[in-house]
Amino acid sequence: MKSDIHPNYRPVVFRDASADFAFLTQSTIETSDTIEWTDGNTYPLANVELSSASHPFFTGQMKIVDTAGRVERFERRYGQRKRRS
């Protein structure tokens, strides 16, 4: 394997603030926030909108999540969608 071509695989805390739920796992995600975990160590923090603690499939309850602007942001970044006739 070539060296220095793979992203840094490290422990990261993912936090779902809407459900007050967090878990520690391995990831290559780049974050600027950190959090002190229950073991006393500081880890990078990635905030997520949905997790198994708040997703309707796992909870059985519908929850309104603010996703406004996602389509518009996608279209600005990658161009307008081609519409079918």
| Contact in structure between 25 and 11 (CB atoms under 8 Å) | yes
pLDDT digit string (tens) for the chain, length 85 residues: 678 888 889 999 999 877 788 999 999 999 999 999 999 999 999 988 777 777 655 555 555 555 566 667 777 778 766 666 5
Q: What are the beta bridge partners of residue 21? A: 16
Rounded to a whole number, what is the largest CA-CA distance in the chain?
58
Neighbours of 35 (CB within 10 A): 17
Neighbours of 12 (CB within 10 A): 20
Residue that is written with structure tokens 């936090």 in the block: 15
pTM exceeding the 0.85 threshold for the entire prediction: no
